[in-house]
Amino acid sequence: MRILITGARGFAGRHLAAELLAHGHTPLLQDITPAHDAELFPGWTGDLRDAADVRRAVHRLQPEAAVHLAGLSFVPQSWTQPVDCFSVNVLGTLNLLEAFRLEAPQARLLVVSTAEVYGRPPRLARLTEDAPLQPLTPYAVSKAAAEQMALLYAGRHGLPTLVARPRNHIGPGQARYFVAATFAEQLARIALGRAEPVIRVGNLASERDFADVRDVVRAYRLLLERGRPGTAYNIASAGPVSIRVLLEILCREAGVQPRIEVDPERLRPADHPPVLATDRIHRDVGWQPGIPLEQSLHDLYQDIRDVLRASA
């Protein structure tokens, strides 16, 4: 299939392009910023908030499917820039849905949301996709609105549209303002002798469910190939781990034991996300996570260390 990836230059987008190529698909790459290798892949550079431009691009490219990854995904930024968050995440999604409705109504469209739409309900049982949405940040509210529009278009207009609700994902190439990557960068600088043996952290008692980005994009591919339109799917690993465990694994990987200092700018109240049920995606497309956390962190650390060495 000719598969459009929005936000193709982002963390997940780069891994998804490789996943699609490896399985015989043709990626069509969209991003707001131009790329040096743009001539190697069809696609377009543009802003999804420009409805006319999005429609022209979909008309020209005629994709057979799409994975909508583009958006603002850093939760703290949604508090400081809520207007940008909503215009990109909600209006951008609506423009894409309209373009597909008008120009490629048979194409399968996977809108990537987030497990943050569930909020923080009591952890009494695993949450299925039918659990109520209780978003607690501007980012989560914007993603809940975007995914509900996608499901509405599936029901109202018959578009073969699906929704993915992934948990946090990690792996090589992740932006360094996310927790695992910022730990890995600090530790790599210490190991390379470029920083004092001190690491600055937030709340180590918080928990997160980390899935490897390569497992996540495999789920996206399988959903495009075999998922049920009009359906939402959870994507998660085996369960949450504490940020302290994450740091301990990365310290072993780096071979350093730094002094830990709490940075007030990074400190947030401890939270414990609920466990997500992934029975639906396993039943419908056969997906389950395959890359253990230790491997994800190893690859993330090695990638960041190699970049730092090359920049010396």
Question: Is residue 191 located within the same domain as residue 71?
Answer: no
Cα–Cα distance between 150 and 145 in angstroms, integer? 9
* pLDDT tens-digit map of 227-260: 999 999 999 997 889 999 999 999 999 999 999 9
Q: In DSSP terms, which residues pair with 166 in a beta bridge?
A: 235
User: Could you tell me the CATH number of the domain that includes residue 96?
Assistant: 3.40.50.720
pLDDT for 271 beyond 90: no
Question: Is residue 63 located within the same domain as residue 157?
Answer: yes
Number of domains in the chain: 2
SS3 of residue 130 by DSSP: coil
Angle at 37 between CA 34 and CA 43, to 5 degrees: 60
pLDDT for 201 beyond 90: yes
Give the burial string for 253-279 (b: 16+ CB within 10 Å, else e): bbebebeeeeeeeeeeeeeebbbbbbe
Residue 51: Cβ within 10 Å count: 15
Cα–Cα distance between 106 and 154 in angstroms, integer? 11
Please report the pLDDT score of residue 177 as a whole number.
83
* Mean predicted lDDT score pLDDT of the chain: 93
DSSP 311: T
> 24, 26, 188: which is closest to 8 by C-alpha?
26
Question: Is residue 249 located within the same domain as residue 109?
Answer: no
Please report the pLDDT score of residue 178 as a whole number.
87
* pLDDT tens-digit map of 63-122: 999 999 999 887 888 888 999 999 999 999 999 999 999 999 999 999 999 999 999 887
* pLDDT tens-digit map of 131-190: 999 999 999 999 999 999 999 999 999 999 999 999 999 999 998 888 999 999 999 999
Q: In DSSP terms, which residues pair with 207 in a beta bridge?
A: 242
Question: Is residue 37 located within the same domain as residue 118?
Answer: yes
Rounded to 10 deg, the angle between the 243-254 and 293-310 helix axes is 50
Can you read off the two tokens belonging to residue 84?
A: 């940008």
pLDDT for 269 beyond 70: no
Reported pTM: 0.94
Question: Is residue 127 located within the same domain as residue 257?
Answer: no
Cα–Cα distance between 113 and 99 in angstroms, integer? 19
Please report the pLDDT score of residue 86 as a whole number.
94
Question: Is residue 191 located within the same domain as residue 226?
Answer: no
Question: Is residue 70 located within the same domain as residue 115?
Answer: yes
Residue 98's domain comprises 2-170+211-237+280-285
Residue 217 contacts residue 164 (beta carbons within 8 Å): no
Share of the chain above pLDDT 90, in %: 81
Residue 100 contacts residue 109 (beta carbons within 8 Å): yes
Please report the pLDDT score of residue 265 as a whole number.
76
